[in-house]
Structure 1
Amino acid sequence: MGQRWCDLAFLHWAVPPERVRAWMPPGVRPDVVVGPDGEERTYVALVPFRLVGAGVGRGPAVPWLGTFWETNVRLYSVDATGRRGVVFASLDASRLGVVLGARAAFGLPYRWARLRGHERVRDGARELLWTGTTRWPAPRGARSRVAVRVGEPIADDAPDADLAAFLTARWGLHTAHLGRTWHVPNEHGTWSLRRAEVLELDDELLGAAGFGDLARRPPDHVAFAGGTTVRFGLPGSAQAPRR
């Protein structure tokens, strides 16, 4: 399946690994980094963006249905074979057909939502706003409003460059479905990451996933990417860890 992800904001909050362990499918554990204090931490992310031109296999993009807005709450994972990925606590999309298909095919926690995006240029900088309200399944009426101002590129030698790569250079997802844990690989170009300033954050999607306290404080790391082309591969089993 091919598609393009456009204008992504990455809002990240650092949490102890124990905070997200219950979300990990069997055979998968939280992926961690060691902070300056020597403690392991992982991250919870809120990621609004626009998905463009999704198609099946190597076929053409599906008209209308293949382009939509999405906002996800994602966590960071690694399986017993060392494959890094993400685990989705929630995914909200503005196309009901996409929601139904992804829930059936992969067991992903998609919801149908009213989602919109807006953009303006002020003082030479892009400012983007994403808004949304969940529709189905429950919880219905959870709202999200995120606005960012796009800044300078994140240089390869910047102090947070390694962390930015850890958070965005992800080549698959882990999901539990039909009694097994699956790894769904993807390939995409290198992100051209830029810094971003949060102008507005009024979000209930984090709370719906069990992380409501995070939305009440500023993110620990924020980045923006203009977009990249993505292609998903066939799912494979994620090996359960040995005990």
Structure 2
Amino acid sequence: MTATVPAGGDPVLPGGPVDPVSATAPALPGRPWIEQAWRDVVFVHWRVDVSAVAPLLPAGTRPDTMGPDGSDDGVTTWVGLIAFSFEDTRFPPLGPLGRTGGLGDFLEVNVRVYTRDDTGRRGVVFLSLDAGKLLPAAAARVVTGTPYHWARAGRRQDGDRTAYAVHRHGTHLRSRLEVEVGEPIAEPTPLESFLTARWGMHVGRAGRTAWWPNEHDAWVLHRATLRGLRDDLVRAAGLPAALTELEPDSVLYSPGVLTRFAGPRA
């Protein structure tokens, strides 16, 4: 099922050739600005019509599209609810912040959508990010302009099951998801690469949009089964209220990667 909402205009904008979908990162332009380990990553995705996403995007970007069969149908885009653990955050050449009281180690649940810009770069736009520590959330919001929120966060792991829960401070907004991890994927499908191998983020700020490129090793992915979900964050981000009541179209898990970000580019 594809959820739709009215759009204020045509979301398909003119642009040049689009970068290919690739499970392998392009070389990072410039020196890494920050390094982070993303561990025990859960990807839950629903497909939606581009009209559900286009009004939420920053200037100069539009929904990136791919149908369930891996072809670019021009009308299907995706909403992701992503949960994971940040570990060993560092700002080269400094050591990991985790050595100073665990400052760089925290849990996060984010809502993200998929974008391309007028130069053809593919990326993600984060509609919300709920992090389990105040200082990293506040610093990331100020430095990058991403919509971080401070939340109470927890994780439970029991055999093949992994569960995350967040409750945004000062609000009623919560998210709790649990997955059962299955067998590893020998070769990701084009869609699975499209949903996970994103080599930058688009961030709108003061009417301008910056591109923050990143790189990491290819994901080691497992298929997974959603065993429980209660979520307010997708609706609060401006997406269709009934979306998380539907069965997701894709559920994946990865033990994680070490990620490096370069500084922003126009």
Q: CA deviation at 1:39?
A: 6.2
The answer for the alignment partner of 1:166 in structure 2 is 194
Structure 2 counterpart of 1:228, one-letter code: V
Distance across 2 between alignment mates of 1:234 and 1:175: 12
Q: Does 1:14 align with 2:47?
A: yes
Q: Does 1:145 align with 2:176?
A: yes
Distance across 1 between alignment mates of 2:135 and 2:92: 17
Q: CA deviation at 1:107?
A: 1.1
- Secondary structure of 2:36's counterpart equals strand
Please give the per-residue CA displacement for 1:128-153, whole angstroms capped at 9, x wherever unaligned.
Answer: 011110015xxx12111100000011
Q: Does 1:214 align with 2:243?
A: yes
Please give the per-residue CA displacement for 1:175-229, whole angstroms capped at 9, x wherever unaligned.
Answer: 1123321000111110011100001011111121123211111101111111000
- Secondary structure of 2:58's counterpart equals coil
Q: Does 1:50 align with 2:85?
A: yes
Change (3 A) 1:110 1:149: same
- Indicate conservation of the 8 Å contact 2:183/2:222, yes or no: yes
The answer for the alignment partner of 2:262 in structure 1 is 233
- Indicate conservation of the 8 Å contact 2:64/2:115, yes or no: yes
The ranges of structure 1 where at least 4 consecutive aligned residues each deviate by more than 4 angstroms after the TM superposition are: 35-39
Distance across 2 between alignment mates of 1:59 and 1:3: 12
The answer for the alignment partner of 2:25 in structure 1 is none
The match for 2:208 among 180, 183, 191 is 180
Q: Does 1:202 align with 2:233?
A: no
The answer for the alignment partner of 2:156 in structure 1 is 118
The match for 1:98 among 136, 149, 158 is 136
Q: CA deviation at 1:35?
A: 4.7
- Secondary structure of 2:169's counterpart equals strand
Structure 1 counterpart of 2:259, one-letter code: V
What residue ranges of structure 2 are gaps of 5+ in the alignment? 1-33
Distance across 2 between alignment mates of 1:10 and 1:82: 24
- Indicate conservation of the 8 Å contact 2:65/2:74, yes or no: no
- Secondary structure of 2:138's counterpart equals helix
Distance across 2 between alignment mates of 1:142 and 1:25: 24
Please give the per-residue CA displacement for 1:97-151, whole angstroms capped at 9, x wherever unaligned.
Answer: 1111111111111000001001011xxxx10011110015xxx121111000000
Segment of structure 1 superposing worse, 9-18 or 28-37: 28-37
Structure with the higher strand share, 1 or 2: 1
Distance across 1 between alignment mates of 2:190 and 2:140: 32
- Indicate conservation of the 8 Å contact 1:2/1:58, yes or no: no
Structure 2 counterpart of 1:87, one-letter code: V
The answer for the alignment partner of 1:135 in structure 2 is 169
Q: CA deviation at 1:82?
A: 1.0
What residue ranges of structure 1 are gaps of 5+ in the alignment? 238-243
The answer for the alignment partner of 2:13 in structure 1 is none
The answer for the alignment partner of 2:4 in structure 1 is none
Structure 1 counterpart of 2:165, one-letter code: T
- Indicate conservation of the 8 Å contact 1:23/1:87, yes or no: no
Structure 2 counterpart of 1:217, one-letter code: L
Distance across 1 between alignment mates of 2:58 and 2:149: 19
Q: Does 1:32 align with 2:65?
A: yes
Give the RMSD, CA atoms, in angstroms. 1.5
